[in-house]
């Protein structure tokens, strides 16, 4: 378990790259029941003026919080989590690869201690979430009780 007294505002708690491809979106659709064709049908997505198939917002939100869960070691320690969706996560055709050679889209995530509450013994973790240098989530924050 993380010691509350060892934390400082601005401290990086971790970072990761999440690779998401269309097969991931199909599996998520099955698990969530969200079969909206913007998440799997390129023709439909472009007809409704999206740049391509886009990841489910809840998929993205759920995937990026793993950096906090991995750091704290207990998902139950996260007592609040919220974000604002600013840009869609576009997931290209499965035949394409990103510059690192991985199939799909790379979502870059970094977590930092944004605030500490000594009385409640909580830390607010601010997540920076981007694709190709563009932020796709803002005000992504998880509150962790330590």
Q: Residue 58: what pLDDT?
A: 97
Provide the whole-model pTM.
Answer: 0.91
Longest pairwise C-alpha distance within the chain: 53
Rounded-to-integer distance, Cα 82 and Cα 90, Å:
21
Other C-beta atoms closer than 10 Å to the C-beta of 47 total: 11
- DSSP class of residue 4? G
pLDDT tens, residue by residue, 5-17: 999 999 999 999 9
Q: Residue 96: what pLDDT?
A: 54
Q: Using pLDDT thresholds of 50, 70 and 90, give the confidence band for residue 92.
A: confident
Other C-beta atoms closer than 10 Å to the C-beta of 91 total: 26
CATH number of the domain where residue 119 is located:
3.10.129.10
Residue 2 pLDDT exceeds 80:
yes
Residues above pLDDT 70, as percent of the chain: 94
Q: Lay out the sheet containing 122-131: strands in order across.
A: 12-20, 105-117, 122-131, 134-145, 78-85
Q: Using pLDDT thresholds of 50, 70 and 90, give the confidence band for residue 95.
A: low
Q: Range of 25's domain? A: 4-145
Q: Residue 102: what pLDDT?
A: 57
Count of domains observed in the chain: 1
E strands, 21-145, in order: 78-85, 105-117, 122-131, 134-145
For the ranges 9-18, 54-63, 88-97, the lowest mean pLDDT is seen at 88-97
9: three-class secondary structure by DSSP: coil
pLDDT mean across residues, the chain: 94
Residue 100 pLDDT exceeds 60:
no
Rounded-to-integer distance, Cα 138 and Cα 106, Å:
17
Strand partners, 3: none
Report the half-sphere exposure of 22 (CA within 13 A, side-chain side).
Answer: 15
For range 75-99, the mean pLDDT? 86
């Amino acid at each position: 378990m993380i010691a509350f007294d060892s934390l400082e505002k601005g401290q990086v708690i971790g970072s990761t790259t999440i690779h998401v491809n269309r097969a991931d979106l199909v599996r998520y659709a099955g698990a969530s029941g969200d079969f909206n064709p913007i998440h799997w049908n390129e023709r439909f997505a472009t007809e409704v003026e999206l740049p391509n198939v886009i990841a489910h917002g809840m998929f993205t939100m759920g995937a990026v919080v793993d950096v906090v869960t991995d750091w704290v070691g207990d998902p139950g320690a996260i007592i609040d989590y919220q974000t604002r969706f600013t840009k869609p996560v576009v997931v290209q055709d499965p035949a394409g690869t990103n510059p690192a050679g991985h199939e799909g889209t790379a979502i870059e995530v970094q977590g930092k201690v944004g605030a500490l509450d000594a009385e409640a013994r909580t830390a607010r973790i601010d997540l920076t979430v981007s694709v190709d240098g563009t932020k796709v989530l803002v005000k992504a924050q998880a509150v962790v009780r330590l």
